[in-house]
């Protein structure tokens, strides 16, 4: 996969798959790698499906990504330099869907 910029803050997560993926994969887990790209987007890379990375873009009002953490195996908590904190899903059926957005 050709990257548009240098990745930063790379983190790994063993995430649960949805039921259809679990039947296909057999173990119900897959390994995802996330990285911040240019402080603007998060790249999600599934090591079992390297040809289909997903780049998550966020609303301009959130500003630059300061940090992020995996939690509950299928969510990312993302902190932005403007004080916004956003939770997005990494579940296959709703990847990138914002669950919560608050300004601290």
d(CA 66, CA 44): 17
Confidence (pLDDT) at 20: 45
Which residue numbers in the chain have pLDDT < 70? 1-2, 15-28
Confidence (pLDDT) at 17: 57
Confidence (pLDDT) at 18: 54
Confidence (pLDDT) at 21: 47
d(CA 66, CA 10): 13
What's the pTM? 0.80
Residue range 23-34, pLDDT digits in tens: 444 456 778 889
Confidence (pLDDT) at 38: 92
Confidence (pLDDT) at 94: 86
């Amino acid at each position: 996969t050709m990257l548009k910029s240098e990745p930063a803050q790379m983190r790994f997560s063993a995430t649960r798959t949805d039921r259809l993926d679990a039947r296909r994969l057999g173990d119900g887990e897959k390994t995802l790698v996330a990285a911040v790209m240019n402080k603007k987007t998060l790249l999600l890379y599934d090591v079992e499906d390297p040809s289909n990375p997903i780049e998550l873009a966020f609303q301009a009002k959130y500003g630059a990504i300061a940090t992020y953490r995996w939690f509950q195996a299928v969510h990312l908590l993302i902190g932005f330099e403007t004080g916004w904190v956003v939770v997005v899903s990494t579940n296959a059926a709703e990847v990138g869907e914002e669950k919560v957005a608050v300004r601290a």
